Amino acid sequence: MTPPTTDNSSIASAQPGKHPLAESIAELQRRVLKLEKQQLTTSVSDPNRMNLLVFESHRDRLLAAFVMATGAAACGMQVSMFFTFWGTAALRKGGRQFGRKTLVERAFGWMLPACPRKTKLSHLDMCGLGRLLMSREMKKKNIADLNDLIETAGELGVVIRVCEMSMQLMGIRREELIDYPSLEYCGVAKFVDEAASANTTLFI
């Protein structure tokens, strides 16, 4: 009596993980699990939140930023403004500089705007004449100026976050910044986290 023959291919296919179909199913399962994990860990954008990154210190652009911020906040949105680089200097309240500073840091303090009222226009500033004309027109037409908009933003709960790296670079001390009810200090990681969870992020 001859012994039964053994089919090696059938044995290989019976072993788990060796059959092409089984491998494909296992790969699909791994991909589904990975996608589910990513979906759980990724925050969903909140349509009720807005972030503004304020890079500039020109008055017209600051006006635009605060008009959008106060308008969105008045509509019930949670608004956060992240001031970095030149925008950081626009938040100074004027007066003397605080602390020991290097010559370069003091030069930044002399050359950059001392306060929101000292900011220049990005166009047609004309050594201050453009600012004067615009301020007069805004007052005549009952349009809020920059200081009024900043005050309104504070009343509406708009959060202002200041870039600590920019402050360190330019030698700006916390004591030199404006008195604002919701003023925080953070780095770019915080802004990225806020932008990832918000529906709208604007760069000004």
Q: Do 75 and 88 reside in the same domain of the chain?
A: yes
Is 115 inside a domain boundary? yes
Q: Do 95 and 30 reside in the same domain of the chain?
A: no
Residues 6+ apart with CB under 8 A from 3: none
Over residues 139-159, the mean pLDDT reads 95
What's the CATH code of the domain at 73? 3.40.1260.10
Q: Do 60 and 151 reside in the same domain of the chain?
A: yes
Domain enclosing residue 19, as ranges: 10-41
Is 134 inside a domain boundary? yes
pLDDT at 39: 59
Burial zone of 30 (CB within 10 Å; 0-12 exposed, 13-18 middle, 19+ buried): exposed
Alpha-carbon distance 164 to 184, whole Å? 10
| 9 to 3, 4, 5, 26, 75: CA distances (angstroms) | 18, 15, 12, 21, 70
Over residues 10-34, the mean pLDDT reads 68
pLDDT at 98: 83
pLDDT at 196: 86
Residue with the bigger pLDDT between 98 and 35: it is 98
**What are the tens digits of pLDDT across the range 36-83?**
766 554 445 567 899 999 999 999 999 999 999 999 999 999 999 999
pLDDT-derived band at 12, boundaries 50, 70, 90: very low
**What are the tens digits of pLDDT across the range 164-182?**
999 999 999 999 999 999 9
pLDDT at 100: 86
Is 149 inside a domain boundary? yes
Is 169 inside a domain boundary? yes
Split into its structural domains, the chain has a count of 2
CB 190 within 8 A of CB 37: no
Is 116 inside a domain boundary? yes
pLDDT at 172: 94
pLDDT-derived band at 9, boundaries 50, 70, 90: very low
Q: Do 20 and 99 reside in the same domain of the chain?
A: no
Percent of the chain with pLDDT over 90: 64
Locate 74 and state its tokens.
């008045």
Q: Are strands 159-163 and 78-83 parallel, antiparallel or unpaired?
A: parallel
4: pLDDT strictly greater than 60: no
Alpha-carbon distance 47 to 75, whole Å? 12
Q: Do 21 and 104 reside in the same domain of the chain?
A: no
**What are the tens digits of pLDDT across the range 181-204?**
999 999 999 998 888 888 889 999
**What are the tens digits of pLDDT across the range 98-126?**
888 999 999 999 999 999 999 999 999 89
Over residues 78-97, the mean pLDDT reads 93
Q: Do 24 and 72 reside in the same domain of the chain?
A: no
Q: What is the mean pLDDT of the chain?
A: 86
